[in-house]
Structure 1
Amino acid sequence: MVLKAEILLPGQAVEATCLALSAPISFWGGVDPRSGEIIDARHPQRGRNVAGTVLGLPGTIGSSSASAVLLELVHTGRAPAAILVAEPDAILLLGLVVAREMGWKTPPALKLSAKAQAGLAGQRLSIAIDGAIRTATA
């Protein structure tokens, strides 16, 4: 099965395990920018780490500082390998735009429904530069 995601910010092809969050998250105060760990005490995936994952975001909880947290994750090498969003979040994705302007390697960002993200949870995925998402084979 192949899913086609809408490319919001292009990037390299990616292969990584999908961490599809079951609830929206605020990056500001919800994700540790130094480690990538989810630190929001009320979040169902608290203690999980976003670094190197295909991070599925069913939604975000606003803060204009979210872009700074994502920027720091990119800078420290703790960013997700790719980001899937149910709806574009311009403030969050601004962190990737700034990181790219700084010359840092940034993960691609793609739009994919929350339902489709949930169906990918825990699977090893291969994401092509054209937005095609496949389950990776061993």
Structure 2
Amino acid sequence: MRINCRTIARGVAEGEVLLTRDPISFLGNVDPHTGIVVEPQHELYGQSICGKVLVFPYGKGSTVGSYVIYQLFKNNVAPAAMINLESEPIVAVGAIISGIPLVDRLENDPFELLKSGDRIIVNSTGSFVEINKDQS
């Protein structure tokens, strides 16, 4: 199944979905050295975002969050790709400078289509997400 979306940062990545309905503040929620979510109140607390297709509604917090995304990339613990309901500048800039594919505004609600553990392809260059529904 192909789902059209808006491209924010170009690229193609395949990976396992890690989904949260909680917004993410990369400055404070995620350890830039390990890629582990360290905010105890966050739904993903204790989980690694490394190599995952990180699905979350939007980013929040300080503009330094863009640099934290870049640190994740430099430390080889960044997500493979990211999907937002609506991207905002902090996450967009971080993804762009790090070369992490980022999309938003999917034509279908990703929280209804996806679950953690699904394997998907994010082709932000082609403005689509590909979901293999045979895996369920």
TM-score by length of 2: 0.85
The RMSD of aligned alpha carbons is 1.8
> Deviations 1:50-80 (Å, cap 9, x if unpaired)?
1111111212222111111101001111111
Deviation digits for residues 73-118 of structure 1 (CA, Å, limit 9, x no counterpart)? 011111111111111211222223334xxxxxx21111135x7222
Q: CA offsets, 1:15-73, max 9 Å, x none?
A: 10111112112111100001110101100110111111111121222211111110100
Partner of 1:89: 88
**2:101 pairs with 1:108:** yes
The reply to whether residue 125 of structure 1 matches residue 120 of structure 2 is yes
Alignment check: 8 A CA contact 2:59 2:90 kept: no
CA distance in 2, matches of 1:40, 1:54: 19
How many Å separate the matches in 2 of 1:97 and 1:2? 23
Q: Using the alignment, how far apart are the partners of 2:102 and 2:128 within structure 1?
A: 12
2: CA distance between counterparts of 1:18 and 1:43? 17
Q: 1:87 is aligned with what amino acid?
A: E
1:127 Cα shift?
2.2
Instruction: Tell me, in whole angstroms, the C-alpha distance in 2 between the residues paired with 1:6 and 1:29.
Output: 27
| SS of residue paired to 1:28 | helix
C-alpha distance in structure 2 between counterparts of 1:18 and 1:126, whole Å: 10
1:20–1:117 contact (8 Å) kept in structure 2: no
- Structure 2: stretches of 5+ with no match in the other structure: none
Q: What SS does the corresponding residue of 2:109 show, helix, strand or coil?
A: helix
| Paired residues, number | 130
Query: Which runs of 5 or more structure 1 residues have no equivalent in the other structure?
Result: 100-105
Distance 2:68 2:46 in 1: 17
Instruction: Return the TM-score normalized by structure 1.
Output: 0.84
Distance 1:94 1:133 in 2: 21
Percent same amino acid at aligned positions? 26
